[in-house]
Amino acid sequence: MNIAGFQANSFVDFKNNIAAVVFVSGCNMRCWYCHNEHILDTKDLLDEEAILAQIKENAGFLDGVVVTGGEPTLQPDLIDFIKKIKAMGLLVKLDTNGKRPDVLEKVLVENVLDYIAMDIKAPLNDYYKATPSTKESTEVLLNSIGLIRNSGVPYEFRTTVIPQLSLEDIRTIAQTVKGATALYLQQYNDSKGIHPHEPDFFVEAQKIANEYVPTFTRGL
């Protein structure tokens, strides 16, 4: 695994669990607001065995491990890494952008995940608002959404509500995952000098999205 960052414990990244967080390098999207952009192309990697040893040492104080990025499904040894975590008796949460449904399916077949979070960046036909330098396939993203919904693994979909997203965009996103267990609307952090939506926007956005899917907010 190309591990570019590690957080020994987190109380917010894995719902109701204390978790270590493993950040991998590499991504097949280039979202303009990415808060992990400094690790996407880094060659300054951490030693996998050292990270596993630290997780094992802390296992008595942890509930699980979050594998995030970057994009974990780009890692050829993702399943092997997850199995090493599971062998410690820990839960595993996977964060993904959904662009590799073929890999996601292989991970799900192995039955090694305890939670999945998939980012939905924007309405599927308007991903340019979030990741202008990459072209997204609506079919690919829908495949991942379907795999996650039918997996039997607890999951969530989540959208970082960047300023370019309108209330109608939120409606479209909610319609895309209609009937799912949860959609989280996350506040965009102003790191580029572009101001986020006001709290009133989130009140209306949550009301609209709740017509289609149980919707919650984060980071307000």
Residues 96 and 163 in one domain: no
Residues 128 and 57 in one domain: yes
Tens place of pLDDT for every residue, the chain, 220 residues?
999 999 999 999 999 999 999 999 999 999 999 989 999 999 999 999 999 999 999 999 999 999 999 999 999 999 999 999 999 999 999 999 999 999 999 999 999 999 999 999 999 999 999 998 777 789 999 999 999 999 999 999 999 999 999 999 999 999 999 999 999 999 998 777 788 889 899 999 999 999 999 999 998 7
Residues 146 and 165 in one domain: no
Looking up residue 142, the CATH number of its domain turns out to be 3.20.20.70
Residues 98 and 142 in one domain: yes
Q: Which of 102, 122, 150 is the last residue of a domain?
A: 150
In the prediction, which pLDDT does 161 show?
A: 97
Long-range CB contact pairs, 138-146, < 8 A, 24+: 140/98, 140/99, 140/101, 141/98, 141/99, 142/176, 143/101, 144/96, 144/98, 144/99, 144/100, 144/101, 144/104, 144/118, 145/98, 145/118, 145/120, 145/176, 145/177
Residues 105 and 19 in one domain: yes
Domain holding 90, by residue range, is 1-150
Residues 141 and 36 in one domain: yes
Residues 45 and 144 in one domain: yes
Q: Quick check: 69 and 111 in contact, CB under 8 A?
A: no
- What's the structural domain count of the chain? 2
- Residue 138, classed as helix, strand or coil, is helix
